[in-house]
Chain A
Amino acid sequence: MERFATTPLNRRNRRIQALLRGLFLLMTLLLILPVALILATLIVKGGPALTFDLLFSDPRLGMTAGGILPALLGTVWLVSLAMLAAAPLGVAAAIYLNEYAGDGWLTRLINLAIINLAGVPSIVHALFGVGAFVLFFGLGASILAASLTLAVMSLPVIIVTTREALAAVPMSYREACWTLGATRWQTIRRVVLPNAVPGILTGVILELSRSAGETAPIMFTGAAFFLPLLPQDVFDQTMALSLHLFVISTQVPGVPEPLPYAVALVLIGLVLMMNALSIGFRLWLRGSRRW
Chain B
Amino acid sequence: MVTQAPKIQVDNLTIRHGERVALRDVSLAIRPNEVFAIIGPANAGKSSFLKALNRMDLFTDKMEVAGRILFNGRDIRTLRNLYALRRRIGVVFPLPVGLPLTIYENVALGPKLAGVRERAELDAIVERCLRLAALWDEVKDRLNDYGSLLSGGQQQRLTIARALSQSPEVLILDEFSIAIDPITTMRIEDVLEQLRSELTIILASTSIQQARRLADRTAFFLDGRCIEIGDTEPLFEGGARDARTRRYLEGRFG
A103-B61, A180-B166 known; A172 and B114 CB under 8 Å? no
Chain A residues 88-113 with CB under 8 Å of chain B are 102-103
Which listed residue, B100, B113, B159, touches A181 by the CB 8 Å rule? B113
Task: Report A168-206 CB contacts with B as 1/0, cut-off 8 Å.
Answer: 000011111111111100100011001100000000000
A180 touching B59 in the complex, CB below 8 Å, given contacts A172-B95, A291-B146: no
Q: Contact between B162 and A290 (Cβ–Cβ < 8 Å)?
A: no
Does B84 count as interface, using CB distance less than 8 angstroms? yes
Contact of A181 with B166 at beta-carbon distance under 8 Å, contacts A173-B100, A291-B148 already known: yes
- Stretch with Cβ within 8 A of A (4 or more), from B38-46, B86-94, B204-212, B245-253: B86-94
* Interface status of B152 (Cβ within 8 A of chain A): no
Q: A172-B93, A180-B86, A180-B162 are in contact. Are A290 and B56 (CB under 8 A)?
A: no
For B132, what are the chain A residues with a Cβ–Cβ distance below 8 Å?
none
CB distance from A120 to the nearest CB of B (A): 31
**Residue B109 CB within 8 A of the other chain:** yes
Q: CB within 8 A of B149: which of A172, A176, A291?
A: A291
B199 to chain A, nearest CB (A): 15
Residues from chain B with a CB closer than 8 A to the CB of A180 are 86-87, 109-110, 113, 162, 165-166
Complex contact B59–A175 (CB within 8 A): yes
Q: Please, which residues of chain B bring their CB within 8 A of the CB of A194?
A: 100
Q: Which residues of chain B in 134-156 are interfacial with respect to chain A, using CB atoms and an 8 Å cutoff? A: 146, 148-149
B178 → chain A closest CB, angstroms: 14
CA distance A252 to B166 in the complex (A): 73
Known: A176-B99, A179-B89, A181-B113. 17 other contacts (CB 8 A): A172-B97, A173-B97, A176-B93, A177-B99, A178-B86, A180-B110, A180-B113, A180-B165, A181-B85, A181-B87, A181-B166, A182-B110, A191-B101, A195-B100, A289-B100, A290-B146, A291-B149
A–B complex contacts, Cβ < 8 Å, 8 sampled: A173-B97, A175-B59, A180-B162, A181-B86, A181-B114, A182-B109, A182-B113, A289-B100
